Amino acid sequence: MATAQNAERTRDPRGIIPPRVPRLPVFPSSRPIPKCLPPRLFGDLVDCLSPVMQPGGPRAPRSVLVIRTDEVAGLVMTLPLLTALRATWPQARITLVARGTRGELLRGGPLVDEVVAWPDRAEGPESLRGQFRCWRLARRLLRRTRPRGGRFDLALLPGAARQEGQRTARYVARAAARRVVGFDPADAGRDLLTDRVADTGPGTHPLRSGERPAGAVGVTITPDAYDAPGLSVIGPADRAAAATLLSPLAFSEGPVVAVEPGTHDPAVHAAALNQVHARLPVRVVLLGGLHDQPAAEVFVRSLAASVPLVSAVGRTRPRVTAALLAGSDLYLGGVGDAMHLASSVATPCVAVGAAVGVAGSGAGSAGAGVVHRHDGPWSAGSRLVVPTAPDPAGLLARTVLELLTGVAPQPPETLTDRRLPVTS
């Protein structure tokens, strides 16, 4: 009787009684629910949800995905790899994923066909939610680029294994491509890579890091790929914009020095150029973003009024900055994005670095440390200066004069690394 009454209560207006849903028993478990999927299981699940690869022998990839999640400097040092990929597979469609607006440096250029922005705050794969977001990011990437076969034939991760964002990049690449090549992280994340390469040693310049992933897919980075690769990203409009910015300097003579004052003490940079200008007339163009405006103001106040000056701080895009550096005779600033841009367009650099890895005392300057740095400038004739001497402005001025004139004003300082000269 009670059952019939309950059925009458649950009967809907159409006279249909919904089926009774059994209540499943709850069994205690000694194993907690996993916080996230193991990388191998994530990869297997992605393969089940992705289009089936067509059978066939080895062939050149038709679609290539390159993910670079760090700053402009890392993107610039990927240019030799992209140059080699384009030369080896001219018919392949190359898609670059770069953080934020940094990929604008290569948009519309000959090296890549499409640039996709990597979110500045991409959630990591440390939870099921984060792994699901990685999969969704890969699906959005595939819907936008539409590679043949539904997935990329190849994904390359040229960044270091422990680099920020690389763990997320491995999950996204595994969901977006059939073959993933990257540096071995030496943990469970290595299961996301179909081709693992050994990480470069601490003494290798980051510029050469792309050689091992390239070799894993049969691509050779030739020496000429390192010869001013940044010139290929500069277009006619960028050169015209740079010429307009430099036009006020046309009424004076002397070499053009591009200065980024925001990395180190801008007053020291200005004092060094004042000493240089007293012996050799120079012209100065200031570089940097809006965040460098306070340092630029200090530099301008410290610079002699007789030095011709143009400020491009906060007024240029990355490609116009590259064009300004290509039109300059020297770069003076810190080890950062602008220095690598200058190196990529074959402009000699005087890079001001920190005393990292002090090995001893310099023979040519009292109290100066002899250091080794493998992330410094890579254009011909460049110097990495560590201003630990009592007169840092004088040391910078002597180095700048030596590069601009080819004659050392005094006996040269100690050089500890012939591949990467270090002046102390």
Any idea what DSSP says for residue 190?
G
Query: What range defines the domain where residue 162 resides?
Result: 39-50+61-225
Dihedrals phi, psi of 388, to nearest 5 degrees: -100, 0
Quickly state the pLDDT bin for 232 (edges 50, 70, 90): very high
Any idea what DSSP says for residue 269?
H
Q: What pLDDT sits at residue 353? A: 79
Which of 201, 225, 249 is where one domain is finished?
225
- Read out DSSP for 387-417? --SS-HHHHHHHHHHHHHHSS-SSSPPP---
Provide the angle, in degrees to the nearest 10, between the axes of the packed helices 266-279 and 392-405: 50
- If one compares 19 and 210, the residue with the highest pLDDT of the two is 210
Asked whether residue 66 is domain-assigned, the answer is yes
Please state, in angstroms and rounded to a whole number, the distance separating the CA atoms of residues 39 and 5: 53
Which of 190, 225, 260 is where one domain is finished?
225
Beta strand pairing call for 369-370 and 360-361: antiparallel
Across the range 346-365, mean pLDDT stands at 60
pLDDT at 27 over 70: no
User: In terms of domains, do 258 and 186 share one?
Assistant: no
How far apart are the two ends of the chain, measured CA to CA in Å?
98
What integer best gives the mean pLDDT of the chain?
81
CATH code of the domain containing 175? 3.40.50.2000
Asked whether residue 145 is domain-assigned, the answer is yes
User: In terms of domains, do 304 and 365 share one?
Assistant: yes
Asked whether residue 200 is domain-assigned, the answer is yes
The H or E element containing residue 73 is helix 72-76
Please state, in angstroms and rounded to a whole number, the distance separating the CA atoms of residues 241 and 225: 26
Q: What pLDDT sits at residue 419? A: 40
Please state, in angstroms and rounded to a whole number, the distance separating the CA atoms of residues 124 and 7: 49
Across the range 147-161, mean pLDDT stands at 88
Asked whether residue 30 is domain-assigned, the answer is no
User: In terms of domains, do 200 and 264 share one?
Assistant: no
Asked whether residue 173 is domain-assigned, the answer is yes
Q: How many domains does the chain have?
A: 2
Which residue in this structure is represented by tokens 């469970």?
188
Please state, in angstroms and rounded to a whole number, the distance separating the CA atoms of residues 284 and 383: 19
User: In terms of domains, do 373 and 318 share one?
Assistant: yes
Q: Any alpha helices (H) in 247-349, and if so which ranges? A: 266-279, 293-302, 318-326, 337-344
Percentage of residues in the chain with pLDDT exceeding 70? 79
Asked whether residue 97 is domain-assigned, the answer is yes
Quickly state the pLDDT bin for 83 (edges 50, 70, 90): very high
User: In terms of domains, do 285 and 409 share one?
Assistant: yes
- Give the number of other Cβ atoms within 10 Å of residue 114's Cβ: 15
User: In terms of domains, do 184 and 330 share one?
Assistant: no
Quickly state the pLDDT bin for 423 (edges 50, 70, 90): very low
User: In terms of domains, do 220 and 251 share one?
Assistant: no
User: In terms of domains, do 83 and 197 share one?
Assistant: yes
Which residue in this structure is represented by tokens 């460049």?
382
User: In terms of domains, do 172 and 71 share one?
Assistant: yes
Quickly state the pLDDT bin for 189 (edges 50, 70, 90): confident
Which of 225, 251, 277 is where one domain is finished?
225
User: In terms of domains, do 173 and 265 share one?
Assistant: no
User: In terms of domains, do 212 and 118 share one?
Assistant: yes
Most confident of 48-57, 136-145, 337-346: 337-346
Q: What pLDDT sits at residue 58? A: 54
